[in-house]
A and B are shown apart, each in its own frame.
Chain A
């Protein structure tokens, strides 16, 4: 662990995140990943949408774009194509990236745009006050599912695998060293990389579903982590909902890593690059 405060916009404190929220751990892990790769902070661009996770961009001392709800991958695509020398990282959440912005995420993956997407999945909309998300487990309580969620959830990694993302990984916010390692792998992967970070929302999800505070939620995630590395044996939803049946596990690690052509837009091919 190094001192990563040089990457933090301390002048922008205090931050907007709630006590017990793991998003700060994610940001720290990202700073570690930047340092481990010896990246020039002037050349790192963090592109975010709207939501709790997206607010991380404001506190990171890089070139930061806090865009519109769900559209971060589209902003990032334009940015990367216009400035290929930038390391472009999208920070998004499960509502931002999988509901309103699912299309943009899918198509950035399909095109194999050379960006990294960190999707912080806390299974709920935090910023707007605890509404159900596409990853809210069936039966879970949210402010818009007071009787329990009746909609089916889906697995973000499944979606991205289907969209032909060339690097897909999942990690728990409770395992920051592993998280940094996967961020480094994702960012150094040539092509589109997607990392689902299973995070917590003690303020809404935890409170509504009696899943405990931040520490309890993150600890329970750790216990459920089977630590399955590639190839993926099985992957399921993280289920915070207390239940009499044993909670399903969540597979972490790299779920896919493949080499395929990177799309840089229709442009004149520079022979020096090949």
Chain B
């Protein structure tokens, strides 16, 4: 029997690059920035043998532009960056959303704002990943919490990008990026490819919605001559200011993701069934939280964890369900309070929300969160 997995001792950033190759990535364009540079350094080694192309661009704006160009040429394409570079990529995240060009953007989060703390972990880009580019647009953002999950969710990011014709963002932090862990890597993964048109070239309209609202996408050079623009456009792909056509585009851009939230959203529920107190955490903090919940259970505290692996679209209904059950919901994140606002909104006042926030460059530890869980009722805040 073929082995289904093989063990490896690798960093999160290495897992990311290996996953990209496994998912069929054939183009990488990037710009060096700590703590994501290892992804590029792995890709340049792995891509040529996989039949792909690597280029180091002049900045992050150009990196994502090159990625989009390559995707339009039919490649699965990716870039990786960190905070300041992610800020520069916002222009083209919007362009990819508007033009519906599949691509994967990995943001290994470091402390901000600005140059901040290049080698410290952070979860300060969670809102930027959702709202960083201007204008209304859908967002799919995945947040792995371990090296193994970096592999799994990077593969998933490619598949979601292809399926929904949208940029997909993977966010993890410096700790996961640089930590070496022993992981079991699958020898093969499920691969999703974008839907190609079947109509004749002269009948092809590049933005005519398919059955699920997602237009079929040929590559440049495949015999379909079409126009791609970041201007609001009609189904023929040509600029329009007609409110009906612009409205239809904006509605479809959102509904093609919102209608499939159930499919896109992944939430880990840990020891929640009888929980009276729960932690909401994602990424590396989710791992500390899991450990803290286990310790609390050993101490007789009925604690649980809700951990979104998909942070956007935000799993509002799952959070609401937990909020209706527990007395206290602790939101732990390595920032000054970003997703806590979403948790409060989804909870609708049904539980006490407590923030355990930290943005000083140090991780939130299991001990920190265990101490939070241990506090008697009424002492928090």
User: A66's contact among B51, B63, B77, B230, by CB below 8 Å, is which?
Assistant: B230
How long is the Cα–Cα vector from A103 to B61 in the complex, in angstroms? 11
User: A43's contact among B75, B221, B228, by CB below 8 Å, is which?
Assistant: B221
Considering the complex, give the chain A residue whose CB is closest to the CB of B26: A82
Contact of B65 with A266 in the complex, beta carbons under 8 Å = no
Q: A41-B225, A68-B95, A83-B221 are in contact. Are A78 and B67 (CB under 8 A)?
A: yes
- Of the listed stretches B41-49, B274-282, B352-360, name the one at the interface; the rest are far from the partner chain: B41-49
B165 part of interface (Cβ distance < 8 Å): no
User: B70's contact among A68, A82, A106, by CB below 8 Å, is which?
Assistant: A82
Considering the complex, give the chain B residue whose CB is closest to the CB of A264: B53
B283 part of interface (Cβ distance < 8 Å): no
Q: B173 → chain A, closest Cβ, in Å?
A: 28
B contact residues around A20 at 8 Å (CB): none
B113 part of interface (Cβ distance < 8 Å): no
Chain A interface category by residue count: 35 or more
B27 part of interface (Cβ distance < 8 Å): yes
Contact of A79 with B230 in the complex, beta carbons under 8 Å = no
- Of the listed stretches A57-65, A148-156, A168-176, A193-201, name the one at the interface; the rest are far from the partner chain: A57-65
User: A68's contact among B52, B57, B224, B230, by CB below 8 Å, is which?
Assistant: B230
| Cβ < 8 Å to B, chain A residues 43-87 | 43, 45, 47, 57-58, 61-68, 71, 74-83, 85-86
User: B74's contact among A12, A65, A71, A83, by CB below 8 Å, is which?
Assistant: A83
B191 part of interface (Cβ distance < 8 Å): no
B227 part of interface (Cβ distance < 8 Å): yes
Considering the complex, give the chain A residue whose CB is closest to the CB of B236: A11
With most chain B CB atoms within 10 A of its CB, the pick from A76, A78, A106 is A78
How long is the Cα–Cα vector from A41 to B222 in the complex, in angstroms? 11
Grouping DSSP codes into helix (H, G, I), strand (E, B) and loop, the B interface class, with mixed when no group exceeds half, is mixed
B contact residues around A64 at 8 Å (CB): 225-228
Contact of A63 with B225 in the complex, beta carbons under 8 Å = yes
A contact residues around B66 at 8 Å (CB): 74-75, 77-78, 81
Would you give the 0/1 interface string for A79-104, flagging 1 where the beta carbon is closer than 8 Å to chain B? 11111011000000000000000011
B126 part of interface (Cβ distance < 8 Å): no
Contact of B27 with A81 in the complex, beta carbons under 8 Å = yes
A contact residues around B72 at 8 Å (CB): 65, 79
Contact of A58 with B227 in the complex, beta carbons under 8 Å = yes
Contact of A67 with B225 in the complex, beta carbons under 8 Å = no
A contact residues around B238 at 8 Å (CB): 12, 58
Contact of B226 with A63 in the complex, beta carbons under 8 Å = yes
How long is the Cα–Cα vector from A43 to B223 in the complex, in angstroms? 8
Q: A45-B221, A78-B65 are in contact. Are A266 and B239 (CB under 8 A)?
A: no
Contact of A67 with B55 in the complex, beta carbons under 8 Å = no
Q: A58-B239, A68-B230 are in contact. Are A42 and B225 (CB under 8 A)?
A: yes
A-B contact pairs, 15 of them (CB 8 A): A42-B222, A42-B223, A47-B69, A63-B225, A64-B227, A71-B65, A71-B91, A75-B68, A78-B68, A78-B77, A79-B72, A82-B26, A82-B27, A107-B58, A265-B53
Across chains A and B, which 3 residue pairs bring their CB atoms closest together, nearest first? A78-B69, A78-B66, A74-B65
